[in-house]
Amino acid sequence: MRLLPFEYAVRNLGRSPLRLMLSVGGSVLVVLLVLIAAGFTQGMQQAMRVSGSPDTVMLIGSGSEESIERSEIAMRSAGIVAASVPGLLRRAGIDAVSPEIHLAMPLVTEAGTPGRLAVIRGVAPEAWLVHDDTRLVRGRAPQPGRSELVAGRLAARALGFEPPESILGMTFSLDGEPYEVVGLMEADGGVIEGEFWTALTDLLVTAQRDSLSTVILRMDQAELGDLEAFAATRLDLELAAIAEPEYYAQLSAFYRPVRLLVIVTAILIAIGGITGGLNTMYAAFASRVREIGSLQTLGYSRAAILWSLVQESVLASAIGSLIACAISLVLLDQFVIRFSMGVFGISINATVLSLGLAAGLLLGVIGAVVPAWRCLRRPIPEALRAGE
């Protein structure tokens, strides 16, 4: 098949600057929407995925398996499990058994303001042993009795601290108690990056609690079955043992409807965008029906003309897609989204960008094929009379 010169498609783009602007603008919006939806779901899934370690088990109050923040277990649970279950990880004489409180509390930056909700985790030093993907990147760990906080990178950004290091030295009011940020931590993008950690004893006092939310353990020779058996036999403690990856998988499943809603909304708006694109392209092609008839008269096949029209449309949508990708990388990547169990960052990675570009190109192809075919299927003599 002999094709029309590529310059024909390129120059046709400049025939109507307004139409070009509409096509490119439409592509930018649709692709941006696809990138936001994909980045949102990727970011949320990524946070959940990296948050579970296969050899880590959570002991949670039975009946509260879906939400750690509602869980309450006895303070003594940590000591009992460490003494009862052999084969737990032990480093430098310390058992990898981390008693923790997880609370969502308002952090107040200025007196009189309502503050912003943040996930606060009260931890003992064992927490650093259990959560081995979590590391301090600046400052130091919080010390008991000093009302100190370590901020996760995303948590700092969620409060507007950019760069996140600028949160160091800040003082927040937590239930009327001043807490100073003394460290900054990372957790490979997991949920912990969206949290604040403080000393367990300080949070017990501030929150006026006498119970834990969870005990998190790392196994060495022990197996999940051992901990399930422990939870089943110690009825007095009212515990449920759940592997950490399973907990986050359940949490991820809990938020699946939210992700679906985001995706469905994106698809619906994209369909609207494609419909708008179809109209724009049809108007563009319909005004050139006689020209299309002339090209056929010269001997160009319908397929060759269709290919050129698709090239033209794909060029416009490719420009829009690239602009959308650039906008998303500059403005959206790691944009912080809050939800009930913390925060996560929109993830604009290679997969998401590829999806956005593919959506843009698809928009260009669909946006051209249908209207182009409507123009091309007219008999040539009729096309040559168009506009007379």
Partner 1 sequence: MALIECRQLTRTYRRGNEEITPLRDLDLDIESGGFVALMGPSGSGKTTLLNLLAGIDRPTAGTLSVAGKPVHNLPRRALANWRSAHVGYIFQLYNLIPVLTAYENVELPLLLQSLSRSERHDRVATALEAVGIEDRHEHYPRQLSGGQEQRVAIARAIVTEPTILLADEPTGDLDRQSATSVMELLAQLNSEQGRTIVMVTHDPRTTEWADTVLHLEKGRLVEQAVGSERP
Binding site for partner 1 (CB under 8 A): 2-5, 7-8, 11-12, 14-15, 290-291, 294-302, 379-381, 384, 388
Closest approach, Cβ 321 to partner 1, in A, equals 24
The residue (of 153 and 288) whose beta carbon lies closer to partner 1 is: 288
The residue (of 8 and 282) whose beta carbon lies closer to partner 1 is: 8
Closest approach, Cβ 381 to partner 1, in A, equals 5
The residue (of 93 and 377) whose beta carbon lies closer to partner 1 is: 377
The residue (of 252 and 294) whose beta carbon lies closer to partner 1 is: 294
Closest approach, Cβ 307 to partner 1, in A, equals 13
The residue (of 67 and 301) whose beta carbon lies closer to partner 1 is: 301
Closest approach, Cβ 35 to partner 1, in A, equals 33
Closest approach, Cβ 295 to partner 1, in A, equals 8
The residue (of 7 and 210) whose beta carbon lies closer to partner 1 is: 7
Closest approach, Cβ 28 to partner 1, in A, equals 24
CA atoms within 13 A on the CB side of 12: 24
